[in-house]
Amino acid sequence: MDKAKAIEPLMVNLTGTVYIGPCLLHSIVVDADGAAAQVDVYDGYGTGGAQRFRINVPSDDCRPAFFPVPLAFRQAVHVVVNAATTYVSLQIESA
């Protein structure tokens, strides 16, 4: 990646496949509103893919995760959010 090029964040608040194809995940931010939020992230087109990680966020809080070495996804990035998740922001770069 060109170091001078910024990666625009992708903002979602629903469960679904947010990126299709091989890619690198640089960061994720999860925001909770009123109740505890939970986000599961999978490598694939749904929950049948490999679960890469889970982020839990206390109510009325926000949790960022930045990866010094980006996480490689082979197929796609699929997120599962609970009802208390206000938004999920991801910085994804095509691989």
Cα first-last separation, the chain: 9
15 belongs to a structural domain? yes
Measured distance CA(41)–CA(44) in Å, rounded: 9
pTM of the model: 0.92
60 belongs to a structural domain? yes
pLDDT at 89 over 90: yes
* Domain total of the chain: 1
3 belongs to a structural domain? no
Mean pLDDT of 10-31: 97
Using DSSP, how many helices (H) and how many strands (E) does the chain show? 0, 8
pLDDT at 31: 96
Output the furthest CA–CA distance in the chain (Å, rounded): 39
pLDDT at 2: 54
Mean pLDDT of 73-95: 96
Per the structure, the complete domain to which residue 25 belongs is given by: 10-94
pLDDT at 5: 80
pLDDT bin (cut points 50, 70, 90) of residue 4 is: low
